[in-house]
Amino acid sequence: MKDAGKPKRARKTMNEEQKVDEIILKGEAFLREGKAADAITLYDAEIEKHPASARLYIARGNAFFCERNWRFACRDYTIAVKLEPNSAETFYSLGLVTFLMNGPETALKCYTRAIELNPQYADAYYNRGVIYDEMKMYMTAMEDYTKAIELNPEMTAAWNNRGNDWVDMGEFENALADFNEVIRLNPQRDKAYGNRGYVLQRLGRFDEALADYAKALEQDPEDGGTYANRGRLHLEQENYEDAVSDFSQLIQLAPMSAAAYELRAGAYAALGKETEAAEDRKKAETFGAAATDAEEPAEDVKINDVADLEKLDSQQTPHDGDCRCGHCSGGGNGASPSESSK
């Protein structure tokens, strides 16, 4: 009779797991609708019923993450790690939020542990690569991006960031190959043509660069980085009126950008319009910064989408808007914290 009772307990456990599955699916639907608070309320009630369910803590942590409540997300992920210490996905989730709270070193340990537990976890390699980039360990970052690409050849974010690292190293032909792959995989990807245009410009292939810049602005007429880079190319080719036009567009997008005014001042000066140039230099001085070197290609957002996309002066490398959480209504192309990599 004792043996006969075991299957009943197993079925009960299965039924409980099925209920948890249903609750998590319902909560994820709330997140896709932008209703994180409703998801949290749902998970609160279920965690009271199933306090040993790591999956529910992860799910609620995801909801807090989507609300940018890093502290509560970290609390839930930490509890989940204690309940399931051999879950790669849980360490991946913890890495997402510890980066925001404690910086790259703690997050690095989480991603490394996730990879130890699941060596096929492409997103964990990708995010660890981002961490190494933050630590300026570019070669090590490229190794992780390469591994992520091997595991998931269609991960455009990894191709893009590796291309950006090639640019940092001055290896523009290699960067071009990676940006070509980004465009082949997703020609509509934000800033893909702008990135390739920048590399073509550095390689002296100006006509191709201009074509890519035009395509980039067709896709995103508010891409300030592309206006800046194309304007600089016009300056290099002594097309000063075109340079003024591009820098004026940049100023419309970033009216407090000292760099933009300084750039347009240079174009005005080349045209002999000293009055206009002096006015722009005065505005640049007012806004407190001088022009910098040409903008570099856009990296993917570091771990999540918290970057301020409007600060052109302080962020000379504009970022794409990929949210790595994957659950919220603006989710990006990475796996969600509670899912394994694809």
The tens digit of pLDDT for each residue in 72-97 reads: 999 999 999 999 999 999 999 999 99
Residue given tokens 């006015």 in the structure block: 279
Position 296 scores a pLDDT of 55
Residue 224 burial by Cβ neighbours in a 10 Å radius (0-12, 13-18, 19+): buried
Task: Give pLDDT, residue 299.
Answer: 55
What domains does the chain contain, in order, with CATH numbers?
Answer: 17-85 (1.25.40.10), 196-291 (1.25.40.10)
pTM: 0.77
What residues in the chain have per-residue pLDDT under 50?
A: 1-12, 289-294, 301-342
Determine the pLDDT at residue 218: 96
Token pair 């933009």 is found at 260
Evaluate whether 277 touches 268 at the Cβ level (below 8 Å): yes
The pLDDT score that the predictor gives to residue 235 is 96
Residues 138, 167: Cα–Cα separation, whole Å: 11
239-263 pLDDT per residue, tens? 999 999 999 999 999 999 999 999 9
- What DSSP line would sit under 81-101, residue for residue? HHH-TT-HHHHHHHHHHHHHH
Could you give the CA distance from residue 145 to residue 150 in angstroms, rounded to a whole number?
9
* DSSP 3-state percent helix, strand, coil across the chain (nearest 5): 70, 0, 30
Q: What is the pLDDT of residue 276?
A: 96
CA distances from 209 to 5, 142, 166, 293 (A): 73, 25, 18, 17
Report how far apart the first and last C-alpha atoms of the chain are (Å, whole number): 44
| Residue 288: per-residue pLDDT | 72
- Residue 130 is predicted with a pLDDT of 95
Q: What would the pLDDT profile of 179-191 be if each residue is shown by its tens digit?
A: 999 999 999 988 8
What does the pLDDT read at residue 19?
A: 87
